[in-house]
Amino acid sequence: MEQARRLGLVRGRTLVLGSEDEFTFVFDLALYARQDGRKRPLDRYAASQRLQPDSDEARVLDAMLAARFALIRVERRHPEAGMIVSDLTREEEFWLVDEGMESSVPIGSKMATRVYSPDDFHMTAGVFVPLEGALLMSALERRPLLFRMRLDEAVEDRRFAEALYREAIRAGVMERVRFEDPPGMAEAAA
What is the extent of the structural domain holding 49? 2-177
Residue 43 pLDDT > 80: yes
pLDDT, tens digit (0-9, with 9 covering 90-100), for 4-15: 888 888 888 888
Q: Where does the pLDDT of residue 23 fall: very low under 50, low under 70, confident under 90, or very high at 90 and above?
A: confident
79 is a domain residue: yes
What pLDDT score was predicted for residue 74? 96
In a domain, 28, yes or no: yes
Q: What is the mean pLDDT of residues 57-67?
A: 92
Total domains, the chain = 1
Does the pLDDT value for residue 118 go beyond 60?
yes
Q: Average pLDDT over the chain, rounded to whole? A: 86
| Domain membership flag for residue 184 | no
In a domain, 185, yes or no: no
The answer as to whether 84 is a domain residue is: yes
Q: Is 90 a member of any domain?
A: yes
pLDDT tens digits for 136-149? Answer: 889 888 888 888 88
Say if residue 117's pLDDT is above 60: yes
Query: Is the predicted pLDDT of residue 181 greater than 60, yes or no?
Result: no
User: What is the model's pLDDT at position 11?
Assistant: 87
pTM: 0.84
The answer to the question of residue 91 being in a domain is yes
Listed range (16-20, 44-48, 55-59, 173-177) with the worst mean pLDDT: 173-177
Convert the chain into a string of H (helix), E (strand) and C (coil): CHHHHHCCCEECCEECCCCHHHHHHHHHHHHHCCECCECCHHHHHHHHCCCCCCCHHHHHHHHHHCCEEEEEEEEEECCCCCEEEEECCCCEEEEECCHHHHHHCCCCCEEEEEEECCCCCEEEEEEEEECCCCHHHHHHHCCHHHHCCCHHHHCCCHHHHHHHHHHHHHHCHHHHCCCCCCCCHHHHHC
- pLDDT band at residue 2 under the 50/70/90 scheme: confident
Work out the pLDDT band at 183, boundaries 50, 70, 90. Answer: low
Q: Say how far apart CA 84 and CA 75 lie, in whole Å.
A: 6
- Residue 125 falls within a domain, yes or no? yes
CB burial of residue 157 (10 Å; 0-12, 13-18, 19+): middle
> What confidence tens digit (pLDDT) does each residue in 66-86 have?
999 999 999 999 999 999 999
